């Protein structure tokens, strides 16, 4: 098994993580307006001190939402160099709590997807990987962003299911069941929570530095031993072209590795919804059916298996260290009911009602229905 890591350090030449800004309010000449102007004019990169000061004081309320919004747009238009992105990520990590799994008798691994319409992979992947002995999956997931539904929104369609556990309860659930899928606690990556809300309503979602820092700050604060990324491209995702997704994956891998996390990435096409279902409860239902039967839409099952295989490899659970063997192992636990058993355990441990899991036909139906008739159907090959 790979060694467990509980220390987090970003080394970009300035020891960015765990280093406090100089003085509570930084340099006497440092103001929100001056920092916004620096990024707007784009004559030089931000200093580490400027970024840390801006994020710290946004978290405390000194920097206002409208000032952060202006800065986010400037970043979206002018970008960031790698050092700026790493420093921004570390500042966001240090704005809240960093979890510690060192007492857990398991290797921890997590996965993150950049998302898209019908992306329901985590609902199967987390219980599938955690069904293997000695592996735990502590997963902090997000809500809907832009035109997509989030993993948290989907799970909360299960009556009683709680995703707002807080760090201590999150730790307890993972310790007892081997997995939990929660929304980031209010004390984790606090700056990102506030920035995320602003990005969603200011058309700054697709900025690569902001995507990188937002995703990686939560994952680094979550603090698993390793991380697998699924970076989407295509019409049903945020990133429409391959080059953009490759660049984002490189930035996230670099940030993860700088923080001491084994980080790998898949770049996957998403021109259409994954699987056959779209809609929060409908996607949960599709995943339940896959875990019960071990079968389902080819694209959904294959993505789950290959990403599970990579997570198992990073945990040292695949003797040959090959994706082929990892896929065989993952397929076995998907087919024999172990993944479904873990999913049920997670639902119970997070307060969900098992009746709608075991008998989904009893789940309340929508009050309103609209029927659409397709008059012309064109098939392209």
Catalytic residues: 112, 192, 199, 214, 218
Beta partners for residue 226, in sequence order = 109, 262
The token pair at 232 is 């989407």
Return d(Cα 175, Cα 153) in angstroms, integer.
Answer: 24
The token pair at 249 is 């994956």
Quote the DSSP letter at residue 189.
S
SS3 labels along 243-301: HHHHHHHHHHHHHHHHCCCEEEEEEEECCCCCCCCCCHHHHHHHHHHHHHHCCCCHHHH
Return d(Cα 205, Cα 124) in angstroms, integer.
Answer: 26
Largest CA distance in the chain: 67
51 exposure class (CB count in 10 Å sphere: 0-12, 13-18, 19+): buried
Return d(Cα 284, Cα 286) in angstroms, integer.
Answer: 5
Return d(Cα 215, Cα 276) in angstroms, integer.
Answer: 27
């Amino acid at each position: 098994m790979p060694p467990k890591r509980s220390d987090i350090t970003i080394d970009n030449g300035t020891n960015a993580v765990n280093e406090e800004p100089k003085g509570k309010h930084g340099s006497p000449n440092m103001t929100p307006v001056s920092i916004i102007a620096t990024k707007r004019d784009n004559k030089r990169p931000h200093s580490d001190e400027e970024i840390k000061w801006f994020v710290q004081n946004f978290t405390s309320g000194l920097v206002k939402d409208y000032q952060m919004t202006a800065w986010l747009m400037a970043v979206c238009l002018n970008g960031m160099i790698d050092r700026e992105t790493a420093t921004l990520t570390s500042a966001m990590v240090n704005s809240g709590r960093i979890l510690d799994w060192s007492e857990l008798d398991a290797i921890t691994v997590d996965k993150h997807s950049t998302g898209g319409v019908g992306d329901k992979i985590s609902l199967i992947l987390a219980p599938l990987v955690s069904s293997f002995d000695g592996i735990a999956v502590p997963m902090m997931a997000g809500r809907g962003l832009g035109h997509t539904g989030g993993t948290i929104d989907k799970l909360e369609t299960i009556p009683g299911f709680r995703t707002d556990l807080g760090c201590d309860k999150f730790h307890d659930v993972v310790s007892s069941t081997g997995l939990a899928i929660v929304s980031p606690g209010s004390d984790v990556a606090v700056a990102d929570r506030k920035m995320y809300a602003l990005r969603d309503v200011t058309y700054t979602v697709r900025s690569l530095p902001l995507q990188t820092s937002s995703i990686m700050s939560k994952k680094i604060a979550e603090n698993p031993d390793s991380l697998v990324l699924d970076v989407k491209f295509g019409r049903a995702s945020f990133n429409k072209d391959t080059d953009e997704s490759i660049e984002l994956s490189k930035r996230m891998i670099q940030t993860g590795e700088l923080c001491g996390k084994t980080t790998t990435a898949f770049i996957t096409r998403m021109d259409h919804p994954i699987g056959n279902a779209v809609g929060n409860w409908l996607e949960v239902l599709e995943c339940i059916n896959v875990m019960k039967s071990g079968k389902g839409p080819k694209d959904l099952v294959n993505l789950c298996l290959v990403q599970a295989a990579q997570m198992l490899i990073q945990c040292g659970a695949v003797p040959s260290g090959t994706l082929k063997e990892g896929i065989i192992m993952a397929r076995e636990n998907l087919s024999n009911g172990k993944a479904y058993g873990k999913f049920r355990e997670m639902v119970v441990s997070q307060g969900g009602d098992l009746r709608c899991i075991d008998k989904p036909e009893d789940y309340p139906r929508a009050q309103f229905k609209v029927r659409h008739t397709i008059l012309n159907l064109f098939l392209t090959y």
